[in-house]
């Protein structure tokens, strides 16, 4: 007799998604990006479908950068993330902050660029 039995709902529900990580140094700062698996829509909780996406990990929070579309070469990720950092960290445009860790019912919040920039250590320090 197995010690742990899974309900029919949970059998075979393991994902084959592989989380990816990418590090980028931009304007003397080190940034860490992580991909997260997409989530299906949850009508009961009024949550839309979320595609697999890249997030900037910073100060215990994650900031959505862009949907993840297949595998990208490191050089392409450097370009994509560098452009995002220039637009959202090193300028005045707001970024999107997500609750971490992801949990059912967690809302995605629009966060001002100041909050994101405030989370970045002073020049010369690494994250």
Residues 94-104: tens digit of each pLDDT: 566 554 444 43
Question: Is pLDDT of 80 > 50?
Answer: yes
Q: In terms of Cα–Cα distance, which of 77, 95, 89 is closest to 35?
A: 77
Query: What's the confidence (pLDDT) of residue 104?
Result: 38
Residues 6+ apart with CB under 8 A from 69: none
Measured from the Cβ of residue 61, the count of other Cβ atoms closer than 10 Å reads 17
Query: What's the confidence (pLDDT) of residue 98?
Result: 57
**The model's pTM:** 0.67
Query: What's the confidence (pLDDT) of residue 71?
Result: 86
Residue 116 and residue 94: Cα distance in Å, rounded? 8
Q: What is the mean pLDDT of residues 56-64?
A: 90
Q: What is the mean pLDDT of residues 103-115?
A: 45
Q: In whole angstroms, how far apart are CA 60 and each of 15, 38, 56, 101, 105?
A: 25, 20, 10, 9, 19
Residues 5-42: tens digit of each pLDDT: 544 444 556 778 889 999 999 988 899 999 999 999 99
């Amino acid at each position: 007799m197995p010690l742990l039995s899974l309900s029919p709902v949970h059998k075979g529900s393991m994902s084959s998604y592989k989380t990816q990580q990418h590090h980028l140094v931009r304007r003397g700062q080190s940034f860490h990006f992580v991909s997260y698996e997409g989530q299906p829509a949850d009508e009961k909780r009024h949550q839309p479908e979320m595609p697999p996406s890249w997030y900037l990990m910073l100060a215990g929070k994650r900031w959505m950068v862009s949907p993840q579309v297949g595998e990208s070469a490191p050089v392409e990720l450097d370009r994509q993330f560098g452009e995002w950092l220039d637009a959202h960290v090193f300028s005045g445009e707001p970024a999107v902050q997500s609750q971490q860790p992801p949990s059912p019912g967690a809302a995605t919040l629009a966060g001002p660029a100041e909050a994101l920039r405030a989370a970045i250590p002073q020049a010369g320090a690494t994250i």
